[in-house]
Amino acid sequence: MKKNNLTMVLITLVLVLALAAAISMVQTSQDTRRGAYFAGAKMLFDPISYSKKVGEDLLVPVYIQTRNIANTSEVSKVDFVQVNMCYGPEIRIEAQSGQEQEIKNNITIDSQIDPSFTEIVYAKIDSTSTGSNGSCLEFAVRSDLAKDSLKSGIVRVATVKYKAVSSGTGNITFDTVRSMASGYNTTDPNNIDQSIKLDEFVNATYSITGESKYSRGQCNSSTGKYVCSVSQTGTYESLAECEQSEGCESASPTVTPGVTPGTTPGITPSVTPTIVQATPTLTNDVGNDAAVRFKLSFVGVRPEGECSSWAVNLIALGQGGTRVYTNVPLSAAQSDGSNKVNYTAAMVLDGFKNTSGVSLFIKGPKHLQMKYARDGQNSAYDKAGGELVLTTDINTTPEYDFSAYPMLVGDVVTSGSGGELVESQDGVVDGRDFSYVKTKAIQRGSVDAGGWLLADTNGDCAMNSVDISTLMLSLAEKQGQLY
Amino acid sequence: MNKNILKYIVPIIAVLVVVESVILIARLTGNNTADNQTVQTKVTEPTANVPDQVSKNLGQPVFEVVIDTPISTWKAGEAQKVVIKLNSLEERALDALSVFVKYDSGKFEVDNITYDVKLPKPITLKASAKTNLVVGNFMVAESGGLKLSKGDSLALLQFDIVPKEAGEFTFELSTSQDSKESATMFVETMTSKELAYSGNKLTVSVTQ
């Protein structure tokens, strides 16, 4: 009997131990992955204080600064960031319809130049969380770059464009709960721990001065309010007065005569606000926008070429500001006797106000994008930023000479989603471009002066073996830079 | 009385243990599922044995690219040979052959890069410490391109390589998933289309 009792006690003890072990293991399993961060990071605005007048744009760059991966000296790479930033009623995102694309148009991720992120996943404005005290903008960006190309350290997430709408001061603050980030964890072979812990936030302040003046546009039938824009010549003192919806739907639209704010005569804005279809013209107007004049040349183009009147796309970059201008025409200048042709351009950079530390990224219709950032540049500019100094007067702004570093040619085709050849640029000169130009050169063909042939890389109005040589020159130069 | 209590306690504890075990197993399974989902949503790395060109709908591989070495166990400080071979699975003509092989320039020195005599003079032929790539870029100027029959084999690149330290290392092709500018590519004559290929990953063990 005693022996039986002893056995029972032992069994009970063993079972109690097993129970305790099981409870312990359950607890342990809860801690394995959930909420695990592989690195820390800071989210910040830079600059952290802004001073603007009513009607002006307020460009707020958002950065993330990633730190070392736990127990390593390697800085974590970031591939996804969600930002929730709240602000007062003195500033607003210009999105009259409230539609997502319109909100996205106010967010720039600089996807064309050494991108950190490649896509704005979504964007929305939440006015309910802060009520009449302001709104919160929430957006997410992601990168589909290869893991080696993902950025680490101080990475610009996006630049958000606000419009200053009434005088006052306020803060732009991150929502520390709704802001988050993830990245590529090189130390985790299974790539499970992706979350980056945002453990520090740096907010910003703004000060808006000046009187509000609004101009009323057409009635927005979906919102029942007038479309109102800030205008220096507006007729309404407050936004509420301008937006009042009484009779909005039945009233005839009242369009403020003159130029619509935010646009410039002769310049048609494209879908996103940062893209401007520019028709550069020489003007004597001296405004706030920077003006630029430059001279460049194209690889292989000779004075006798008559099919090289190519317009270029231009990106102006400087001190956090970026503007894109498409179809910028060039004027052919006289040859300087060196058997090449120099082309000139002069334009006011509409909306671009930075005048120092400027660099220009120029791309032709069959050319690689070139960075020009120094006067007399004769090779690739392999540093960040730029050294160009501009003025706001087209007559006095310096003319920069980039002609000693000709634009490389040969970016003419790419592959479609099914592998088919597409006559479109992909930013690279490679074997597909070579093969395309070679095939066309074998077929031969020509056009009259001023005509267009994609495979005519030297602009002599004909497709022949010289086009192949010109492309190979560019390819060798580019590969020399890369490798 | 004691005996009666024990009679009840033992089965109760036994049942608790079973319940806890079931909970434990269920939670572990749940965690695994969550982890798997995380991995699936993450951009996955290209696997050398699964050619990315297939995923780009380029069709069945036309070429097989093999990164090979005579022996897979190397000794630090001793030069070894690596060859990148192109095996043609179909009859094709090529206008361009661009080969990019990833290597770690901090762990290896690459020298004496050569190429098949059937290939034209390369535009670029070098080991780039800047990009950690061995590069061979060939553009075929002949109008008919470089003709390859089914079963033909080319030694695209061959080079000497000296490991600096012990460890396990891999060599594989750089593809369009790694870099747009450094994508291994074979372009067909006349159509100017990329042709699909498969590639392997060479793993070597380096001893002191």
- At residue B1, the pLDDT reads 53
DSSP for A368-432?
Answer: --EEE-STT--S---SSS--B--BS-TTTSPEEE-TTSPBPB----EE-TTS-EESS--S---HH
Q: Give yes or no for residue A186 having a pLDDT over 80.
A: no
Least confident of A207-221, A412-426, B61-75: A207-221
B1-49: per-residue pLDDT in tens? 556 776 777 788 888 878 877 776 655 544 433 333 322 222 223 333 3
Mutation site, A119, A408, A434, interface B, largest B CB count within 10 A: A434
- For residue B150, give how far its alpha carbon lies from the nearest alpha carbon of chain A (Å): 22
A244-248, A360-364, A417-421: range with lowest mean pLDDT: A244-248
- Closest partner residue to A483 (CB to CB) among B24, B34, B135 is B135
pLDDT in tens, A24-37: 665 554 444 444 67
List pLDDT tens digits, range B164-175. Answer: 999 999 999 998
Average pLDDT of every residue of chain A: 80
Report chain A's terminal Cα–Cα distance, integer Å: 87
pLDDT in tens, B55-88: 355 678 999 999 999 988 899 999 999 999 999 9
Q: Rounded CA gap, A19 and A21, in Å?
A: 5
pLDDT band at A184, cuts 50/70/90? confident
Q: Tell me how far the alpha carbon of residue A423 is from its chain's centroid.
A: 25
Write out residues 31-60 of A within 8 Å (CB-CB) of B: 32-34
> Mutating which of A114, A368, A415, A417 best tests the B interface, going by the most B Cβ atoms within 10 A?
A415
Cβ distance of A23 and B20 shorter than 8 Å: yes
| Cα nearest neighbour of B46 on chain A | A146
pLDDT the model gives residue A258: 29
Q: If pLDDT is split at 50, 70 and 90, which confidence band does A51 have?
A: confident
Q: Taking CB atoms and an 8 Å cutoff, what residues of chain B touch A11? A: 10
Is a pLDDT exceeding 80 seen at residue A3?
A: no
Between B163 and B57, whose confidence is greater?
B163
Does A411 score more than 80 pLDDT?
yes
pLDDT range class, residue A468, cuts 50, 70, 90: very high
Residue of chain B nearest A80, judged by CA positions: B42
| CB contacts, 8 Å: A483 with chain B | 124, 126, 128, 130-131, 133, 135
CB–CB contact A5 B3 (8 Å): yes
Type and span of the H or E element at A442: helix A431-443
Q: pLDDT band for position A85 (50/70/90)?
A: very high
pLDDT score recorded for residue A340 = 83
Task: Kindly state the average pLDDT of the residues B116-124.
Answer: 96
- C-alpha to C-alpha distances, A77 to A1, A147, A185, A402, nearest whole angstrom: 69, 8, 7, 35
Neighbours of A19 (CB within 10 A): 17
Identify all chain B residues contacting A482, using CB atoms and an 8 Å cutoff: 128, 130-131, 181-182
User: What residues 426-455 of chain A have any CB closer than 8 A to a CB of chain B?
Assistant: 426-428, 430-432, 434-436, 438-439, 442
Find which of A20-34, A137-151, A237-251 is predicted with most confidence, using mean pLDDT.
A137-151
Instruction: Please name the member of A18, A428, A432 whose beta carbon is closest to the beta carbon of B187.
Output: A432
Interface test with A, best of B4, B5, B24, B133 (most A CBs within 10 A): B24
Least confident of A288-302, A318-332, A358-372, B134-148: A318-332
- The residue of chain B nearest to residue A7, with distances taken between CA atoms, is B6
pLDDT at residue B126 greater than cutoff 90: yes
pLDDT at A446: 93
Closest CA to A326 of A369, A355, A375: A369
A471: distance to nearest CA of chain B, Å? 11
Higher-confidence residue: A440 or A334?
A440
Instruction: Check pLDDT > 80 for residue A139.
Output: yes
List chain B residues with CB under 8 Å of A9: 6
Beta strand A180-184 with A77-87: parallel, antiparallel or unpaired? antiparallel
How far off is chain A from B56, nearest CA to CA, in Å? 7
- Per residue in A422-456, pLDDT tens? 898 999 999 999 999 999 999 999 999 999 999 99
The pair phi, psi for residue A182, each rounded to 5°, is -145, 165
Nearest CA in chain A to B134: A483
Q: How far apart are CA A330 and CA A475, in angstroms?
A: 24
**Phi, psi of B157, deg, nearest 5:** -140, 150
ipTM above 0.95, yes or no: no
pLDDT band at A214 (very low <50, low <70, confident <90, very high): low
Answer for the pair A63, A153: CB distance below 8 angstroms, yes or no: no
**pLDDT number for residue A470:** 96
Q: Which of A94-98, A130-134, B157-161, B192-196: highest mean pLDDT?
A: B157-161
Could you tell me if A415 lies within 8 Å of chain B, comparing CB atoms?
Answer: yes
DSSP code string of A359-379? EEEEE-TTB--EEE-STT--S
Return the top range by mean pLDDT from A65-79, A322-336, B56-70, B184-198.
B184-198
Residues of A in contact with B63 (CB under 8 A): none
Which residues in chain A are contacts of B23 at CB distance < 8 A?
Answer: 26
- With bands split at pLDDT 50, 70 and 90, how would you rate the model's confidence at A382? confident
